[in-house]
Each structure stands twice: as C-alpha cells, then as structure tokens.
Amino acid sequence: MSFRSLLPVLALLVVVGCSRKDELPPAPPAGSARIVPAWSAVTNAAAAKAVFRGGETLPVSLAAPGVVSMPVDFSGNKPPMRASWDLQLPCDLSRADGIQFDFYCSDLDQFAHFSCYFKSGAGWYHGTFCPEENGKWQHVKVMKSRVELEGKPEGWDKVTTVRISGWRAGEGKAVCAMANLAYEGGEFADVVVVCAESVASGGGDEAVRCMRYADRMATALRSTGLVASVVPDSALAEGSLTNAVAVVLPYNPALPAGKADLLKAYVAAGGRLLECNVQSAEAEGIEGALRSTDKRLGATGSVDVAFLRELAGKMAPALEKKMAKHDADEAERKKELMKWLASRPSCKGERRAFWCHSARGLGALGWDASVKYLKAHGFNVIIPNLCWGGVAFYPSKVLPVAADVRTKGDAFEQCRAACRKYGVEMHVWKVCWNMGHHTTAAYVKKMKDAGRTQVDWKGAPKERWLCPSHPDNQTMEIEAMVELAKMGPDGIHFDYIRYPGLDCCFCAGCRARFEAEIGTPVENWPDDVRDEKKLRDRWNEFRCANITKVVRTVSERVRRETPGIKISAALMSSPSSAVSSMAQDWPAWCEEGLLDFACHMDYVNAAPQFRSQVRSQLKRAGKVPLYPGIGLSCWPSDGRDAERLARQIEAARALGLKGFTVFNFDHRAEQVLPLMRLGVTKED
C-alpha cells in the first residue's frame, strides 16, 4: 500500500510570548527520518495554511520552510476547552507504526494534555503525546499501538480525518511549532507484533485488552534495542512477514480468516513465532510455534523485560546479538542516570505513599517483607487494595469473603501488623461498584438476577458493575467502608467512586428512580437523558447525587463512629470531565470537607503535563491536601521509570505539596525504589 496519499498530521503549535518568528529556535534536521512527501511541500505560507486548518483557532504562520507555528489564546472571558484542528485527508498508515515529528512548545503549563485522533469510517483511533520541556524542540512519536478505539474504526488504511487537540489547563497564550513530519517504523522490523484489531473493533473491555497487550509487548521489545512493528491482524498479507526475524502474538483470541495460514507458511519457511497469553484455536494449531502463558508476558499489567529478553534471545541468535549491543550502550547511559539520580535532593517530613493492587503485598513476599522493603526505601504509607464491590480479603460481615482467606489468612490483619511493626501508615483501598475478577461468578449472577448490576446505553449488561442508584448497592458500599474504619486502619480510601463513563447506567431501576426524582415519565428512554435541550443536566445531577450520597454518608458516619480515621479517595484528574462523564463531583466533596486528603490519578508520562494537571486540581481542592498520583505502572516499559518518577516527585514538591502517591507497588516499583533511594528519598 502507498503512503503517498498521506497529508501531514498537524500538531498543535503553541508558544507563550513567542510572537516574533525570530524567537523560535531553528528546527533540528530531519536526519534519516522518512519525511511524509506532502510535508516537504510546506515551504510557503499558502501551503502551510492549506494544510493546517482549525475552526476557531488562530491562523498559522510559516516560521521557516517546513516549520509551521500556531498561536493559541486561552486568556479570554470564555476560553475554549481545547484548541483543535481537523484535517480532512485520506491517509494510509497500515504499513507504518505511527507518525513522528519535531515539536516545540514555550509554555506547556497552558495544556493539560495533547490528543491526536485519526478518523476511520464511523470511528476514531485516539492517541496522545507528551512534550517534556518548555522552549526546546523535542522529538515526538504517536504510535498506533498506543491508541484507544472510539466507535468502530475501519482500519488504518481508511483514515479520512486527523484531529489534533491541545486541552486547556491555563489561562494564557502560547505558541508551538512542528517540523519534520515523518513516518515512524513499519519497515525492516526485527519483530512483528500482531495486534488483534479484528477483535478490538467490536469495542468493550476486550478491545482495551487487545490494544494494551500489543502495546506492552512492542514497547518492551523496543526497550531491548529491537525494532518492533505492530501490525493489525487484518493487515497481514502474503510476504508481509518475510523480513521479520520473529513474530509475536501477544493476545489474539481470534484471527481473521486465512491469517493462520500465513503464519503457518512463515513458520514453515524458518520464521520464529511466539504465542503469549490467550490465543485462538487457529493460532494454537500452528506447529513449530513457541508458546508461553507466563504472566510476565503482559498478563500482570506490564511485560517483564528481562524475562522477554531471555525468551527472545533463545528464539533467534540474530536477536540475541542485537540485544547484547544494546545492553552495552545502555550500561553507559545508566552510569549517567545514576549520577543524576544521586544528585537529586530529598525532602524531610513528606508523605510518600504507594497504592498496592495486590491484597497480598509485593509478589510472593507477603506483607511483612513488603512493608519492610517499602519503609527501607523511604516510603511511609501503603494503600492496599483489600476489597472490591463483591469480595473482601478479610472476614467481612458485609461483603463475600475471598476463598484464599481460608488458606492464606486475613490480609487486613497481616498488613496492619506489618505496618505497625515498621512504622508505616495503612489506608485500606476499597474499589466501589466494580466487583472485579476476584468476585465469584455465582455472586455476580446473584447481583444480576436481583437487578443490581449496570446496563449500558445500548442495553447490554455490564455484569461486574453494580448500579450506583440501587439503594441496596449504596447501603452495601457504605456499610463496607464503615466496617473497614471500625477495624482500625489509619484510613479508608475510596476508588472507582464514580460511574464507568457516560454510557452507564441505563437499567430499568435507574429509569424508575430517575422518573420518580423528576416527577414525570421519560418518553424516549434513554435518548432524552442524553439530550442537552431536554434532560441531560437533570440526569447528570441524578448520577452525581448517587455517588455523592455514599461519600457523604461514609464521611459523616466514620467521623462520628470512629473519629481519627482518615477518609481519602483516588480521583479523576480533570475536574470538569470527572463531573460530566463520571459523575464524580470531587470539587464539591472538597468544598464540603468530606475528604481528609485526595489522590488524583495523574498518570501521565511527562513532568510538565503532570504539573499542569496538579495545578488545575489545586484550584478546585480548596483546603483539602493533595497527594497526587504518579503512574509508574502506567508508563511505557522503556527504561525511563526512575527518571520519570524523580521528575514528577520534584514537580509535586515545586508546587508546595507535602507528599505524593505512586501507582503501583509491583515488580517495577521493586526495581525503581533503590534508585529513588540514591537521592529523591534518601536519608538526610
């Protein structure tokens, strides 16, 4: 397929205080990048304006041949939520891994984040990018493997529109610039990672899994020095795998018709095929494939790079040789990183916390060794996930008790004993509404049969989500939190204290309770409650009230019945979308004083973006202390964990905050904590 039809993807171009062209530093050379042909034509002002279009945004200008700048103004009385440009263009990105370009921004604090959308058919591919420094050109990549699906896109060869958006965080002016728009990857790959896009196009949770598994695998392979290309399963064609040393199926519960035959032919010709995690029957029938269901290959949330490296080396000597050279180069880079980390200052008396998604601690260590390890590396708070919407890992009288409590013991008591022993605070993490995968199928069925589970906009059941408007569910969430507080932790911690999104919940119970609330029937259910001119505002007030009722009741009862127990919550990062999409009115909770502290989930890669989000939260949190969430486990596995964590901790300190919270206490945390101890959390 040809790339010639690809017109340039526009980046938002922003520069605070850069009103003169000569203030923009020279763009870096393109080097060996495969520049998009249409970008080469952007040599004059007319060509730039023809390529860059955008509704209410200010006009672009040509800073130099092939360098386009665009001002953005968020300083008005009614500034837009974002600056956005739509490019109507037919794009064939089926053989590329994504796009790359050089990007300049003078004031990243004006933006919460940047989005890059690709429209294909009736749906969109949605990606993001995160510039990391003000006033400097930076190389940006938007990878196909890291996009999410909105609607049902029809394939990367059918992209018709590209939308670039910069979401507002500040109230000022800025300018960015872009140069050297080029294809990213897609040729001469060492390893081809086959993404199950044919399954993902169906939407839902399975779509998320398919996309994430492919991205995790590709990112881990690239971190070893290999060139990894992500190819949609529907795009596999005869000869498309010829040059690949190896092919990986990361999570492929189904294969399109005929694709298994292509993989069989590849293996028969001497190619190496690795099948991980869940695979289709057709894939499992390929003779000569190497198969591994080891959880370290993405099933636990990330790929263990060391384990994958060993596996890849055994698969093909050619890969081993290339990875060995990369290791030598990395050793030198790590020496410089260690020096930098050791130079970073620590800060006395701050609250350093880790969320821990495992009810049993770090790996197989158990709670005593886990808490000891955490304390030894400078952290003083643990937030263990000990209960969900349908299961508890302790002898609860409110929630069903997990089966492993009989064999492994009471996780609450084990964790609390370790925390008291080592002087670490324990704030118990409760996942609300979501019953999670630990809940038994029998209990899920019981809730569904009782009409207590959610139904989405299209009428499809969301069986593992409890309906927040159901009185019995509200009572259960309240009693579970109150029960936890009476068990004697240092605090209790809300999570998922919200709806899954705009598409939930539209069950029969929600309709009846909403109609009772407004005192009139809803004629066109559920369309009318999503109509701005009819009932949308009342509907969102109803949703917010259901969530707030639980938070308020828990706050009142815990402070009355178990004074001294702190109440906190993991919150959505954006104040506006938290309310409008998730019905999580945390600004109101802070204003009312329902929380003792808040941990927003600011899971972004770059420190400037993290800082922008936290700054916007500070404006709405009032007197409630913020200990922002840093997404260690959500970043790409590219070897930059320690640097990113250190920079975001320092960003929190620079904003005057007295602590931070890191997600998640897992094997990546185990690897990075000793590096933090060199400087950021060292003893003074």
pLDDT cut 70: percent of the chain above it = 95
* Contact present, 553 and 561 (Cβ < 8 Å): no
How many CB atoms lie under 10 A from the CB of residue 269? Answer: 9
Average pLDDT over residues 218-232: 89
Is the pLDDT reported for residue 14 higher than 50? Answer: no
* Contact present, 157 and 1 (Cβ < 8 Å): yes
Length of the chain: 684
Q: What is the pTM of this model?
A: 0.80
- Please name the residues in contact with 253: beta carbons below 8 A apart, sequence gap of 6 or more: 196, 199, 206, 210, 278, 279, 280
* Contact present, 546 and 583 (Cβ < 8 Å): yes
Residue position matching structure tokens 């206490």: 665
Task: Tell me if residue 531 falls in helix, strand or coil.
Answer: coil
How far apart, in whole angstroms, are the C-alpha atoms of residue 232 and residue 39?
26
Is the pLDDT reported for residue 17 higher than 70? Answer: no
The pLDDT assigned to 20 comes to 43
Average pLDDT over residues 562-574: 97
Tokens of 226: 């290999």
Average pLDDT over residues 228-247: 88
Is the pLDDT reported for residue 13 higher than 50? Answer: no
Is the pLDDT reported for residue 602 higher than 70? Answer: yes
DSSP 504: B
Is the pLDDT reported for residue 4 higher than 50? Answer: no
The pLDDT assigned to 16 comes to 33
- Please name the residues in contact with 641: beta carbons below 8 A apart, sequence gap of 6 or more: 632, 635, 668, 671, 672
The pLDDT assigned to 237 comes to 86
Please, which pLDDT band fits residue 187 given cuts at 50, 70 and 90?
A: low
Cis ω before 505 (30° cut-off from 0): yes
The pLDDT assigned to 479 comes to 98
pLDDT cut 90: percent of the chain above it = 60
How far apart, in whole angstroms, are the C-alpha atoms of residue 330 and residue 335?
9
Tell me the pLDDT tens digit for each residue of 326-352: 888 888 888 999 999 999 999 999 999
Is the pLDDT reported for residue 12 higher than 70? Answer: no
Average pLDDT over residues 175-188: 81
How far apart, in whole angstroms, are the C-alpha atoms of residue 630 and residue 633?
9
Is the pLDDT reported for residue 452 higher than 60? Answer: yes
How far apart, in whole angstroms, are the C-alpha atoms of residue 412 and residue 435?
19
Q: Rg of the Cα trace of the chain?
A: 26
Tell me the pLDDT tens digit for each residue of 423-443: 999 999 999 999 999 999 999
Please, which pLDDT band fits residue 239 given cuts at 50, 70 and 90?
A: confident
Is the pLDDT reported for residue 308 higher than 60? Answer: yes
Please, which pLDDT band fits residue 392 given cuts at 50, 70 and 90?
A: very high
How far apart, in whole angstroms, are the C-alpha atoms of residue 236 and residue 87?
28
How far apart, in whole angstroms, are the C-alpha atoms of residue 598 and residue 412?
22
Is the pLDDT reported for residue 448 higher than 70? Answer: yes
Average pLDDT over residues 42-62: 76
Residue 94 carries which side chain, given as an amino acid letter? S
The pLDDT assigned to 504 comes to 95
The pLDDT assigned to 2 comes to 38
The values of phi and psi at residue 537, to 5°, are -65, -40
* Average pLDDT of the chain to the nearest whole number: 89
| Residue ranges of domains in the chain, CATH in brackets | 21-184 (2.60.120.260), 191-322 (3.40.50), 348-454+463-501+540-676 (3.20.20.80)
Average pLDDT over residues 383-410: 98
Cα 290 → chain centroid: 30
How far apart, in whole angstroms, are the C-alpha atoms of residue 548 and residue 527?
24
* Contact present, 351 and 627 (Cβ < 8 Å): yes
* Contact present, 233 and 227 (Cβ < 8 Å): no
How far apart, in whole angstroms, are the C-alpha atoms of residue 17 and residue 5?
36
How many CB atoms lie under 10 A from the CB of residue 166? Answer: 27
